[in-house]
Amino acid sequence: MAVERTLSIIKPDGVAKNLIGDINRRFESSGLSIIATRMMQLDAREAERFYEVHKERPFYRDLVRYMTSGPVLVQVLEGDDAIALNRDIMGATNPADAAPGTIRADHAESIEQNVVHGSDAADTARREVAFFFDEKQIFSRPAQATRHDDR
Ligand code: CMP
């Protein structure tokens, strides 16, 4: 298993529902470290660029409107197999298909308002991390750091 980095976004609905602590606890207790964090409100141009791959999809305009509707928490998560692990913790994009106990099964309202975003592959993770963070804003976990569960 390789140590990877992945981009996480706690979306406007997740922030509005006061879920930052619950979501971050799930990441840390699963062995992921939060190595960069930033609260911000995306403007339309940023959201359009971030979701450029979806620009021909019928939901693109609504997605941009929703993602700019309030503050988000953008974060870099690091750990063994972080990209797939984060996707397991989030659950399927559509909460109706999300496995029990995942963030989206527990908290998401709909396929659009689905609380969290996570990179889906190594190349998108690199692009998405660089979209929000400079390397000097990212702090890899020290080798001696313990997992939350081990304390
Ligand atoms: P995310 O993982 O951030 O990637 C693209 C986002 O588009 C997705 O989560 C949802 O918020 C949204 N999305 C994906 N599919 C649909 C859909 N069929 N209808 C509405 N929104 C969607």
- The answer to whether residue 95 scores a pLDDT higher than 60 is yes
Q: Ligand 1 mean position to 88 CA, how many Å? A: 17
Q: State whether the beta carbon of 20 lies less than 6 angstroms from ligand 1.
A: no
Cβ(91)–Cβ(102) below 8 Å: yes
- The answer to whether residue 8 scores a pLDDT higher than 70 is yes
The pLDDT confidence band at residue 55, using thresholds 50, 70 and 90, is very high
Closest protein CA for atom 4 of ligand 1 = 117
Active-site residue, 117 included:
yes
pLDDT more than 70, % of the chain: 95
Residue 136 has a pLDDT of 98
Q: Ligand 1 mean position to 83 CA, how many Å? A: 18
- The answer to whether residue 19 scores a pLDDT higher than 90 is yes
